[in-house]
A and B are shown apart, each in its own frame.
Chain A
Amino acid sequence: MAGLSIEGARKSFGETEVLKGVSIEVADGEFTVIVGPSGCGKSTLLRSVAGLEELTGGRILIGERDVTDLAPSARGIAMVFQSYALYPHLTVYENMAFGLRIAKADKSEIARQVQRAAEILNIESLLGRKPAALSGGQRQRVAIGRAIVRQPEIFLFDEPLSNLDADLRVRMRYEFAALHRTLGTTTLYVTHDQVEAMTLADRIIVLRDGQIEQVGTPRELYERPANIFVAQFLGTPRMNIVPVTVSGAGQATFSDGRIVALPPHAEALSTGTRLSVGIRPEDIAIGAASDALPHRIGFIERLGGLATIHLHGAAGDEPLACQLRDDGSLREGDVVPVLLPADRLHLFDAEGRALHGEARE
């Protein structure tokens, strides 16, 4: 096993620059998830690590080895594709053994490796079947099995769960986490699904337009997003962002003149500074208090245990999304007092960069 370093990776397709100097360090044994919207370059980055795309600039190191110019098979990586990419004419066993057979490994060694991987993934009973006779989840396991058999230094996953139904996705997520605990192999995992990123990652890398927006643990990114993009990308419903103007020590004014208290680290901001305040839907409270702001309930999405409530108020045109335990007492059209707790507010400057205070708990 080994760590992975990507140093200033650049990649252009014709005139379009897809990666604009991306540098990443993945520690040995770490599960790192690259997350970002479609077209942000995350798959290109992963494919570059695999050797399926040639970088226009920069280096890739696996352990101490510079693999930038090596063929995919010589890099010590294994990749699991979104479409599984199993060989349809080969049995599960042959699919998993393919790489070792190409490498002319000893027959008994091949059998041992395939058996081991099959046991880990609980697919021993499927070894004689062809991919067409497998369910989506089983195919996914075989694809992972094929990767395990290669005994790679680094696992690469390219949106491996996006072809599965919701139920299976949750189960496979759990299995990925368990598998990583068992094998402890350095893993680079690409997804556009922030839930996968939050649940699986030791560290998340948020990518946008070929550049890194932020790197950190899921908790760090959720609690202390570096900018509005990261803040809104992680978490559903996404973080509410409202423009305000600082109107005095520790307070700001919405566009309609109503006042909100700011967290302590905003004390230093001079009056007149334009800001954006962000608040996560679960941090908004509904209840009477002296500083509560009345909002009208525009729409309630009832999810069973939880409800997402869209609040139309004085605070700009965008409704605030608020997530609560649903006791069925709220009705659309009600006017309710809304609390935006100062210690739960995120502040962003005019460019959308976070203004952080002390780390919150």
Chain B
Amino acid sequence: MSVRRWSVTLLAAFVTLLTVAPLLWMVSVSFMAPGEAAQFPPPLLPETPSLENYRTLFGTFGIGRFLANSLLVSTLATGLALLFTIPAGYAFAKLRFKGRDATFRLLVAALVVPGQIGMLPLFLELKAMGLVNSYAGALIPWLAGIFGIFLVRQYCLSIPDEMLEAARIDGASEGQILRRVVLPILTPIIVTLALFVFLGSWNDFMWPLIVLADQDLYTLPVALAAMSREHVQDNELMMAGAVVTTLPVLILFLALQRFYLSGLLTGSVKG
């Protein structure tokens, strides 16, 4: 191997270590006894690894419930987002209707408005509809993300019209064309979009905090934040909470990484 390749490999290894180290230490600390991580210098590994923190988390704090809440909200958010975003993106790309391009331009223009600006009006709107403090309220912002519509539309633009016309001649209805021709072609972008939405809603803190008042409805990040207010000193316990929060999405991401990458690359690589 040349010096150049060695140095590139070393640099990559260093950056990887830099990125992974905090995650690994988070896992390590979660197995430490109370107060152990606060020593100086902080230990890399627990002296006597124990599951005590996890027991407290799942026993005393009932984090299992919040984990289930988060799973439910994120799964629903993903399902609903796909349900609305894919047909919308497809329609903007391939169906002819009046005002199509004008509407799309308006949507894209709205992308530049930060989400936080919409939070208050959205909250008031949901309040008027009686949806505050319910999962319906927590899910509404995920229903149809402009970014998702944009992503699907751009990908759909690369599908040749002739293929859809061939399906029309073959007798397929517009719904059948979407289901049997377009969706299979869209698989990489659907996986990518699903990951985006799932990760986004899983990690979302602000909106659930605003809209969910009842503690039983809390999602993991909100519950964890509430917990950290009471247990500022319990680093080890908090780290166990962080592991419970991070691990599911990390596994999901790694499992779908292959599709995700091909989805992100499609725009540039596909002919």
Contacts and interface: CB of A to CB of B under 8 A. Distances in A.
Interface of A: 50-52, 71-73, 77-79, 81-83, 85-89, 98-99, 102-103, 146, 150
A12 to B, nearest CB: 15
B160 A72 contact: no
Given A85-B160, A88-B185, A89-B184, A150 B166 contact: no
Interface stretch (B19-27, B168-176, B210-218): B168-176
Contacts of B180: 98, 102
A81 B170 contact: no
Contacts of A88: 185
Nearest to A72: B169
Interface string B118-138: 000000000000000000000
Nearest to A98: B170
B165 A85 contact: yes
A81 B170 CA distance: 13
B224 interface: no
B168 A87 contact: no
Given A88-B185, A89-B184, A73 B171 contact: yes
Interface in B129-176: 160, 162-163, 165-172, 176
B167 A78 contact: no
B168 A52 contact: yes
B170 to A, nearest CB: 4
Nearest to B166: A85
Contacts of B162: 81-83, 85
B181 interface: yes
A99 B170 contact: yes
Interface residues of B, number: 16
Given A88-B185, A89-B184, A89-B185, A83 B169 contact: no
Which of B171, B172, B181, B185 is packed against the most chain A CB atoms within 10 Å? B171
A87 B181 contact: yes
Contacts of B160: 83, 85
Given A81-B162, A82-B162, A83-B160, A73 B170 contact: yes
Nearest to B159: A88
Given A87-B163, A88-B185, A50 B170 contact: no
Secondary structure of the A side of the interface? loop
A304 to B, nearest CB: 35
Given A73-B170, A102-B171, 13 more contacts: A52-B168, A52-B169, A73-B168, A81-B162, A83-B162, A85-B165, A86-B166, A87-B166, A98-B170, A98-B172, A99-B170, A102-B180, A103-B171
The 6 closest A-B pairs by CB, nearest first: A73-B171, A99-B170, A85-B162, A89-B184, A85-B166, A81-B162
Nearest to A104: B171
A52 B163 CA distance: 12
A51 B167 CA distance: 13
Given A83-B162, A85-B162, A87-B163, A78 B171 contact: no
A72 B168 contact: yes
A145 B1 CA distance: 53
A174 to B, nearest CB: 25
A77 B170 contact: no
Interface of B: 160, 162-163, 165-172, 176, 180-181, 184-185
A252 B162 CA distance: 53
A99 B163 CA distance: 13
Contacts of A99: 169-171
B176 A85 contact: no
Nearest to B183: A89
B101 to A, nearest CB: 15
Contacts of A71: 168
Contacts of B171: 73, 99, 102-103
A86 to B, nearest CB: 8
10 contacts: A52-B168, A72-B168, A72-B169, A78-B169, A79-B166, A79-B169, A85-B163, A88-B185, A102-B172, A146-B166
A104 B181 CA distance: 17
A150 B170 contact: yes
B47 to A, nearest CB: 55
A296 B167 CA distance: 58
A312 B96 CA distance: 54
A52 B184 contact: no
Nearest to B173: A102
A83 B166 CA distance: 11
A118 B185 CA distance: 25
A73 B176 CA distance: 13
A71 B173 CA distance: 10
B270 to A, nearest CB: 11
Contacts of A85: 160, 162-163, 165-166
B169 A77 contact: yes
A72 B166 CA distance: 9
Nearest to A80: B166
Q: Which of B160, B162, B167, B169 has the most CB of A within 10 A?
A: B169
A102 B174 CA distance: 12
B222 to A, nearest CB: 41
A51 B171 CA distance: 12
A103 B172 CA distance: 8
B170 A102 contact: yes
